[in-house]
Amino acid sequence: MSADFANLPGSEFLAQWSVSHGNLRRFLEDTAMPPLDDDAQRAAGQAAAEAAVQDTFGIDLADFSLGVDSVSGAFATAGTSTVTPPDPDIPQDTEAAAFFDVDNTLIQGSSLVLLAAGLARHRFITLRELLPALVKQLRFRLSGSENHDDIASGREHALSLVKGKSVDELRDLCAEIVDQQVLTKAYQPTIELASMHIAAGQQVWLVSATPVQIGQALAERLGFTGALGTVAEEKDGYFTGRLVGDILHGPGKKHAVAALAAIQQLDLQQCTAYSDSINDIPMLSMVGTPVAINPDRALRAHAQSAGWAVREYRRVRRVAGNRAALLAAAGVALGAAAAAWAWRRRS
C-alpha cells in the first residue's frame, strides 16, 4: 500500500478489512460496530422502543408504560387475561377486536353512580363520603364536559374511599350491583353489536373509567372477552389507596388499548371502537372503524365531519330545555341525599 493511499480517509478501515476478510462477523463487531457498554445499550434500547411505540400507536413510551400497567392490573384483578374464553366452535379472527365504552354506550347513565348507590346501600361507604363525587358527576352531566381538576380530585377521593377495604367484598358487591342495577340499564342494540363481533371470532373488550371490578362483572355476565378499567392497588387482600396505571379516561383509554393491542397482537386497523363521548376521541381515532353511539353534541359533529358511523339508541332525545330540568333534578337528588344522611344520623 502506498504512503499516499495510507493517508487517505478510511484507509485504516480498509486495512483492517483486509486483515479480517476471513471473519466478517468479527470485523463488524470489533471495528464497524464495537460492543456497547451497559448504559449505551440501555439508551439505544430506550430510543428504539420510543420510536416503535410512537410509530405504531402515536403515543410516547411513558404513556404506553402506563397503559401496560393498567392492562396488567386488570389481568391481575381478574386472575386471568380474559374473563370469557373464545368459543372453540367459532373460527377466531385473532387480529381484530371491538372496544366498547360503558356509560351511555353500553348502559344508560353512569355506572359509577349506580356503583356508589349500591355500595352505600350495603354500607361499604357512606352517603356523606359520596356527596363530593355526586356533585362532580352532576356538574359533568350539566356541562357536558369533564374538568381535569375534577377528574384528578375525584380519582384521589375514590381511592381514599376504598383504602383499607376488602378486595373480595368489593368484588362481590360489584357483581351484585351489576346483576341488580347495571344490567337493567343496558342498551340491547349495543349488546347485539358486541354479539356480532363475538360471532365473527373477534375479541370484545369494555374500556371504561369505572372501577375494573364493575367492568369485569359486566363482561362476564355478557360473555365478553374482558374489561379494562380503573385499577386500585391491592395488597394482602385490601386496597392500599394507590392507583395502578392511570384512570381510564380520555387519553388513558388510548394508552390502555395500545398496550392491549401489543399484548394480544391486535391490528388496530382491523378493530372497532364505540363510544358516546367527545372525550374518547383518542381511542376512537386509533382504530380502523370508529362508531359513535348515543353521541354527545360534540362527538356527533366530529363523527359527521369525519364520516364515522353514528348510532342512536336513546328513546328520548335531549332538547335544549333539559338544562333547567337537570338543575331541578340535581337539587332534588342532593336534597334527598342530605335528608337521608340526616335521618341516618338521628337513627
CA–CA dist 207, 255 (Å, integer) = 11
Q: What is the pLDDT of residues 50-69, one digit of tens each?
A: 787 788 888 888 898 899 99
CATH number of 48-110+185-311: 3.40.50.1000
* Range name among 13-27, 141-155, 178-192 with the lowest pLDDT average: 13-27
Find the radius of gyration of the CA atoms of the chain: 26
CA–CA dist 231, 211 (Å, integer) = 6
Residue 38 annotated in active site: no
User: What does the pLDDT average to over 259-264?
Assistant: 93
Q: What is the length of the chain?
A: 347
Q: Per the residue annotation, which of 63, 69, 101, 246 is the catalytic one?
A: 101
What are the domain boundaries of the chain?
48-110+185-311
User: What does the pLDDT average to over 77-82?
Assistant: 91
User: What does the pLDDT average to over 154-167?
Assistant: 80
pLDDT of residue 318: 41
Range 198-225 burial, b when 16+ CB lie within 10 A, else e: beeebbbbbbbbbbbbbbbbbbbbbebb
pLDDT bracket for residue 346 (50, 70, 90): very low
pLDDT bracket for residue 326 (50, 70, 90): very low
User: What does the pLDDT average to over 263-278?
Assistant: 96
Residue 89 annotated in active site: no
Q: Per the residue annotation, which of 103, 150, 276, 280 is the catalytic one?
A: 103
Question: Angle at CA 100, nearest 5°, toward 94 and 102?
Answer: 150
pLDDT of residue 120: 86
User: What does the pLDDT average to over 199-227?
Assistant: 96
pLDDT of residue 47: 77
* Range name among 144-153, 183-192, 219-228, 318-327 with the lowest pLDDT average: 318-327
pLDDT bracket for residue 182 (50, 70, 90): very high
